[in-house]
Amino acid sequence: MAKVDYSCLIPNNVGLSSDKALLRGLRDWQTRFLSWWSEVGPQVFGDSEVYLRTAVSPATWGWAHFGYVRMHEYRWGIFLAPRVKDRVIPGGDFAGDKVWQELPSEHRQSLQRLIVVQADAEPASVEQQRHLAGTCPSLYDCRNLFQVNVEEARHLWAMVYLLHTHFGEDGRNEADALLARRAGATDRPRLLDTFNEPCAEWLSFFCFTTFTDRDGKFQLGALAESGFDPLARTCRFMITEEAHHLFVGESGLGRIISRSADLSRRDPNGDVAAQGGIPLEMVQRYINHWYSFSLDLFGSEISNNASEYFAAGLKGRRSEARVPGDRLVLKSTVRIPQMEEGCLVDRVVPMRLAMNELLRREYVKDCGRVIDRLNRVLADAGLDFRFTLPHSRFNRHHGMYGKTRFNPQGEPIATGQWEAERELWLPTEADRGFLASLMSAPVVTPGEMAAWISPPSRGINGMPADFKYVRTGR
Ligand SMILES: [Fe+2]
Ligand SMILES: [Fe+2]
């Protein structure tokens, strides 16, 4: 396995020092990347020393080093998972053929598109989260936010390496465009709507890392099966980092819920908000918002593009080796309910056309397990309230359900009913105002927590809860 070369200005395990032209191109891009980071990266405590992990090896175990780093001095690098000997294309028309180490020219356009769309999400999330440190509930949480931010930026690096290495001038232009778009900007927005949504409160941040980062886990899982081996290896290493992001989200939601449970017991009327906590109904509305927006990221339920990507071996089925049955997927079908004259009608669709929907259904199941775990927190606290996942047709903006209104049970409803009830289902202006008042200042004393969240059960890398995870200078 190639070791990480830290003597190079860009840490890497891809032998960058021996390719001077590539190194020069990436060094130029690095300068632009650093101005992007200072312009739209973390805006509060951005110059502080932060207790961060940095990748030191692409091996699954023992790959990180922990220490204080100023974020703009973070060693963003290029790490590919080790090459699998004699790897073959796992599924589609070319199943069993040797994977490509060089870009297959006939798939240049499609692979470039797949890489750019995945890459665009990475800097977008950093931009969406750039003000959150200003209202952090603790130094522990602030550090976790920054860890997520530097790793999303590293994922951008991973994709830019592929663009510079394999796509020539087009790739370099796309790499620059990734630094030019801005989350939420009207004139040059990010490519996917979810990454233009404001993520202004910590409740949104925890939902985002639970549900939107979880989309990343599934997309990267499908790209890790690509026949274009450099892309597959890049994505395999990114998945390793993604696990911590999901932990930050789910444990954050769990801590909010357990705090709300404590506060509701303290109040004679069970009023969490009156005690300075976040009401569970509000948490449910934020779950509904971020979960439904994240479902859109999987693309159309029936998709010719997805079918072609699968057939050509560009994007596989996640964990292909564990999927039973036929690798070509020529005979299998999927039932997908479709809207016809105002009613849902079950239609049978060739599975190749439903690759997006298959991946989305796996994601839905995984999110269901998250909800079960959160409900266990409520049950342990002796509360009757339970969270639910809205139906995958609810509040969709894209795909075949994007044009009809559905209630959280997935039944089609009239626009009037949607308007009348949406405030029960989705975050309201009042919710946003309430959270803004609850989270008006950062908590920066080591070991202290904002009143609306419980402390974590353990610190990072064996450090105590009152460790100074961010040296804020205060
Ligand atoms: Fe990422
Ligand atoms: Fe992530």
- Candidate from 9-13, 26-30, 385-389 with smallest mean pLDDT: 9-13
Q: What is the pLDDT of residue 241?
A: 87
Give the angle 399-402-406 at the CA atoms, nearest 5°.
130
Cα(117) to ligand 2 centroid in Å equals 15
Cα(170) to ligand 2 centroid in Å equals 26
Cα(143) to ligand 2 centroid in Å equals 15
pLDDT in tens, 189-217: 999 999 999 999 999 999 999 999 999 99
Cα(339) to ligand 2 centroid in Å equals 34
Cα(103) to ligand 2 centroid in Å equals 26
Cα(285)–Cα(204) distance, rounded to whole angstroms?
10
Closest CA to 464 of 439, 443, 447, 442: 447
Cα(369)–Cα(363) distance, rounded to whole angstroms?
10
CA distances from 111 to 78, 155, 308, 474 (A): 19, 17, 11, 47
Domain boundaries, given as residue ranges, for the chain: 86-471
Q: What is the pLDDT of residue 60?
A: 57
Cα(126) to ligand 1 centroid in Å equals 10
pLDDT in tens, 338-359: 999 999 999 999 999 999 999 9
Q: What is the rounded average pLDDT for all residues in the chain? A: 95
Cα(150) to ligand 2 centroid in Å equals 10
Counted residue by residue, the chain has a size of 474
Cα(424) to ligand 1 centroid in Å equals 31
Cα(366)–Cα(290) distance, rounded to whole angstroms?
15
Closest CA to 154 of 80, 89, 260, 77: 77
pLDDT in tens, 18-52: 999 999 999 999 999 999 999 999 999 999 999 99
Beta bridge partners of residue 66, listed in sequence order? 53
Cα(121) to ligand 2 centroid in Å equals 9
pLDDT in tens, 405-453: 999 999 999 999 999 999 999 999 999 999 999 999 999 999 999 999 9
Q: What is the pLDDT of residue 2?
A: 64
Cα(155) to ligand 1 centroid in Å equals 5
Ligand nearest to the CA of 205: 2
Cα(16) to ligand 1 centroid in Å equals 22
CATH code for the structural domain at 86-471: 1.10.620.20
Q: For 418-436, give one letter per residue: b (16+ CB within 10 A) or e.
A: eeeebeebbbeeebeebbe
Neighbours of ion ligand 2 (CB under 5 A): 213, 242, 245
The owner of tokens 């899982």 is 221
Cα(239) to ligand 2 centroid in Å equals 9
Cα(350) to ligand 2 centroid in Å equals 32
Cα(242) to ligand 2 centroid in Å equals 5
Per-residue pLDDT band at 62 (split at 50, 70, 90): low
Ligand nearest to the CA of 152: 1
Cα(338) to ligand 2 centroid in Å equals 32
Q: Which residues contact 402 (CB under 8 A, 6 or more apart)?
A: 296, 396
Closest CA to 339 of 403, 395, 251, 414: 403
Q: State yes or no: pLDDT of 103 exceeds 90.
A: yes
Q: Which of the pair, 319 or 455, is modelled with greater confidence?
A: 455
Q: For a pLDDT cut of 90, what percent of the chain falls above it?
A: 89
Cα(235) to ligand 2 centroid in Å equals 12
Cα(277) to ligand 1 centroid in Å equals 30
C-alpha 384, offset from chain centre: 31
Cα(210) to ligand 1 centroid in Å equals 13
Neighbours of ion ligand 1 (CB under 5 A): 122, 152, 155, 216
Cα(418) to ligand 1 centroid in Å equals 33
Q: State yes or no: pLDDT of 1 exceeds 60.
A: no
β 64-70/470-471 pair status:
unpaired
Q: What is the pLDDT of residue 122?
A: 98
Closest CA to 45 of 129, 122, 120, 125: 129
Q: What is the pLDDT of residue 4?
A: 76
Average pLDDT for residues 320-335, to the nearest whole number? Answer: 85
Ligand nearest to the CA of 118: 1
Cα(236) to ligand 1 centroid in Å equals 12
Cα(416) to ligand 1 centroid in Å equals 38
Cβ pair 29, 175 in contact under 8 A: yes
Ligand nearest to the CA of 223: 1
